[in-house]
Structure 1
Amino acid sequence: MAWSRVCLKGALFLTWLLLGAAILGGVFPWLERLQPTACPAIRLKWFRGMARILGLRLEVRGEPESGPALVPCNHISWLDVLVLGTQVPVTFVAKNEVADWPLMGFLARRSGTLFVTRGNLRATAGLVRAVGVRLQAGDKVVVFPEGTTTRGETVLPFSTAVFQAVHETAVPVQPVGLRYRGKAARCAPFIGEDDFLSSLVRVLSLRIVPATVVWCRPLPASEQRQALAKHARKYILAGLAAADGNHAPLEPRRLRMDELAALSESGIELVGVPPPGVGHGGGRDSAVVGAAEVFMYFQRQSGRVF
């Protein structure tokens, strides 16, 4: 690891965070009264400055539509916020824990981020109302309806609750897909028990952080929230697949018995899945049941599908 790069970029990262905190805490309260239209442009410049510090190199496909919209996005890392923040002025929805993060929590609160306590029905209902208010005010609101982060190899099913705000306000839904490239595909994901400092060091160690942003075509608000969530996810999968040059979306699918046998013969170990012909109960039928729980993903490191 290039520790000189980590230290230099880390110092710039912290300095830029402090500058953002000073602007939000000292300048914005005054500016919001005198010239509120200047605030979104300043936030956009701050995001783009931070992107340069971290070495973000973005390939952007499509473009955000003008006017208010709900923007559902697949979720990989805390970097997602910085990537989308460089595109257009937006309001983010984040889990409640982010509000307590040192410094970054202050920035999120002062920039108008909406927070939600996951698993709390009353809090979710309040979030839907708050998102509706922002949409009616003309904002673009970014949500991460997977409810968690992934490695970016696929897109998990979307929670439907927040899409109710679109159904009530009649604004469109414009899905957006994210994908990190090269070494960043391994270093950027912020998943499981990962802590922010370790994740930050991994990102700072990279010379550049290449990423693809895919703005999909908007969905009309006339559909029910379940259909909106389903179609938004499919649009993201298709957009990312097209950006990758694949003919089919990166959908998970279950292994057939012949595929399981081929993988076993090639030496690939499938943890938690019985060998062909053995199964949990010793018979072929139970082996099929065990294999049915295996997901297939595109593995970029080897270029194979398994």
Structure 2
Amino acid sequence: MAFLRRVWRLFRMFWVLLAGIAITLLVLPFRRVGWLNDASVMSIATWWHRRMLGAMGIAVRVEGEIKPRAGIWISNHISWLDILVIGSQAPVHFVSKAEVRRWPVIGFLAAQTGTLFIQRGANQTDQIVTAMQKKLTEGYSVLFFPEGTTGHGHYLRRFHGRLFDAALALHAPIVPVAIRYEHEPQPHPVVPYIDQQSLLHNLWGVLALPRLAVTVYGGQPIAVEGVERRRLAERSRDVIRAALELPAPALPPTELKSAKRNKPAQD
């Protein structure tokens, strides 16, 4: 049964992917001559994300409010599916690792929808912040994953603060989003894209699931006025941790041990 489920879903995904390529190639000339703006392209991308999730048998439920609004969006990071899940709910430009740009077909489609690619360890933060600010001034939203990498989902890594500079410079709000792949007990045993898995290996496991339910929590915007970068990152992490109902400090085991070693002695 699992094998037939995988084959059927792969068949459906193929046609959605083919539709994405065809639409992209059709709209490219119109974008180049200015007959189609980014807002229209992002609306098409939102539609495509929903179709792809449907083809994979993934159902998304929203708690709170998720609506198009300019600002810096942030989210916890569990899987490559996070982009499909969030992208299906609102038009948003993503900040992604540069490796995604080299993925066949997917990298091309991501680039055409305005994804900003960052090369880890290449000191590109300032360039990405500038690109994020440009999108913000044009009235768009940009999402990045402040943990910097994926995790199991039952903890949160410390949030890196540098990309918050784009919000601070333009006084743009931080829009927190939290993702939970439903399973009891947590974490989900299949979805997390971790431990040097290949994309195909992870996809093969996800497609075998009878059903995958995802809950997306949309939080209220966080004001940035008068808050320094490090504190803003910590506050944003607290909001997402609370939405996921994770007990504080909800750090991964390695960071938790380090935090305990560095904790000042109590008098």
Under TM normalisation by the shorter chain, which class is it?
0.7 to 0.9
Equivalent residue number for residue 192 of structure 1: 195
Equivalences for residues 81-96 of structure 1 within 5 A: 81-96=83-98
SS of match in other structure, 1:4: helix
Which amino acid in 2 is paired with 1:16? V
Equivalence for 1:30 = 30
Q: Does 1:51 align with 2:50?
A: no
1:226 aligns with 2:230: yes
Distance 1:45 1:27 in 2: 15
Deviates more, 1:129-138 or 1:17-26: 17-26
Counterpart AA for 1:218 = P
Q: CA–CA distance in 2 between the matches of 1:82 and 1:253?
A: 25
Deviations 1:105-157 (A, max 9, x none): 11111111000011222x11100110111111111111011111001011110
Q: Structure 1 residue 65: deviation in Å?
A: 5.1
Measured against aligned partners, the alpha-carbon deviations of 1:55-92 in whole angstroms (never above 9, x if no partner) come to 22222111135531101111000000000011110000
Is 1:211 paired with 2:214? yes
Could you tell me the TM-score, scaled by structure 1's length?
Answer: 0.77
Structure 1 position 15 matched with structure 2 position 15 = yes
**Larger relative contact order (Cα-Cα within 8 Å, sequence gap ≥ 6):** 2
Paired residues in the alignment total 253
- Which is greater in Rg? 1
Name the counterpart of 1:235: 239
Identical aligned residues as a percent: 34
Letter in 1 for 2:129: V
Structure 2: tracts of 5 or more residues without a match: 262-267
Q: TM-score, with normalisation over the residues of structure 2?
A: 0.88
2: CA distance, partners of 1:177 / 1:250:
16
CA offset at residue 167 of structure 1?
0.6
Q: Does 1:4 align with 2:4?
A: yes
CA contact (8 A) 1:240 1:249 kept: no
Q: Secondary structure at the match of 1:206?
A: coil
Instruction: State how 1:80-229 maps to structure 2 within 5 Å.
Output: 80-121=82-123, 123-182=124-183, 185-222=188-225, 223-229=227-233
What's the RMSD between the two structures over aligned residues? Answer: 2.3
CA contact (8 A) 2:24 2:112 kept: yes
The question of whether the paired residues in 2 share the 8 Å contact of 1:28 and 1:39 is answered with: no
Q: Aligned residue for 2:264?
A: none
Q: Give distance in 1, aligned partners of 2:248 and 2:213.
A: 21
Asked whether the 8 Å contact 2:68–2:90 carries over to 1, the reply is no
What stretches of structure 1 of length at least 5 have no aligned partner? Answer: 255-271, 273-288, 294-306
